[in-house]
Amino acid sequence: MAALLGSVVAVGHLWLSRSEPDVQPTTSQLRRLARAALEQQGVPVGRLRWMGEHSNHLFRCDTASGERLLLRVCLPDGRSDAELDSELAWLAALARDTDLTVPVARFSTRVATADLPAGGRCIAFTWLQGRHCEQRPSRRLVADLGRVLATLHAHARRFRPPAGFTRPTLDIHYLTWTDSWHAAQLTRRPIDPATRRLLDEVAGRVQAALAQLGTDPAVHGLVHADLHLGNVLDHHGQARPLDFDDAAWGHYALDLAIAVDSVPEPLHPVLLGGYRAVRPLPDGYQQHVAALLAGRRLFLATFLLAHGLPVVAHLDLLRAFIAS
């Protein structure tokens, strides 16, 4: 597990869109788009800094009035407006109904510029205080991450989506990047047949486990889908979840496995204990935990193989799963 962590964290900060645009806009073009959105909303910009690229492009805005915002620039090849509206609706409900500290939208608008006439959707979120600590998480933080995840799942059980609410589904097609640029790229890569057979066999076993879990509301609902330590801030031991862009309909047990897979193995019981302090472990988690963890590794391995990145640690763990 320890050997896997570096790869997991690294993937957490890479481009995870399910499509790859032919031409990426420059940082300068994106900065002008972001500034146009802020000016449209009457936000006085003091300093605008590019923070990098994940499934979208992120900017930190320090306003002239002393406010700090996180601006997400969503380009046309990404999430639909309906999907983005749904993400924001869930975040607003979490902020209203729970004690969790989550990003809340300050504004959301669509703008275009002369050099990016197709424009983009720009969403400004409140800035969350905290530090990234995925390399050396404390026991207190990991326990609180368990509490946060359980709170998310408990809220999802009673959440009533508004009309038009739509998010993807965290199923085997999602985990294998079906119908995405990555799947197409994988077919063109010089990957040995044994590795391809391994991926297929793991996918079959993971699909069988998900089918056994079923889709009853007690086990399946709205989940974060990517709550690894790279998407958590540590605020004096309080876990603050970030990046709900991958929120999906899925199994609570798989959502928990994604978080477990990102923490050092000695801390797994700590995270599960934090979860149990709020609600029992999801039905089927303990029975299918090996397959659920393999599903997460299959997702990451497919991404890495599609991009020609090192994947040995993931494949070794998938082979061990099949052997067991």
pLDDT at 3: 29
Tell me the range of 22-31, 49-58, 236-245 where mean pLDDT is highest: 236-245
Can you tell me the distance from the alpha carbon of 50 to that of 48, in angstroms, rounded to the nearest whole number?
A: 7
The answer, yes or no, to whether residue 107 has pLDDT greater than 60, is: yes
What residue type is assigned to position 133 of the chain? Answer: C
Question: Which residues lie closer than 8 Å to 201 by C-beta, 6 or more apart?
Answer: 322
- Ramachandran assignment for 179, one of left (phi > 0), alpha (psi -120 to 50 degrees), beta (any other): left
pLDDT at 204: 98
pLDDT greater at residue 135 or residue 209? 209
pLDDT at 167: 97
The answer, yes or no, to whether residue 115 has pLDDT greater than 50, is: yes
Query: CA separation (Å) from 302 to 6, 204, 246?
Result: 16, 15, 17
User: 133 falls in which pLDDT band (50, 70, 90)?
Assistant: confident
143-195 pLDDT tens trace: 999 999 999 999 999 999 999 999 999 999 999 999 998 999 999 999 999 99
The answer, yes or no, to whether residue 291 has pLDDT greater than 80, is: yes
- 105-111 and 120-126 as β-strands: parallel, antiparallel, unpaired? antiparallel
Residues 241-246: what's their mean pLDDT?
95
> Do 18 and 89 contact (CB within 8 A), yes or no?
no
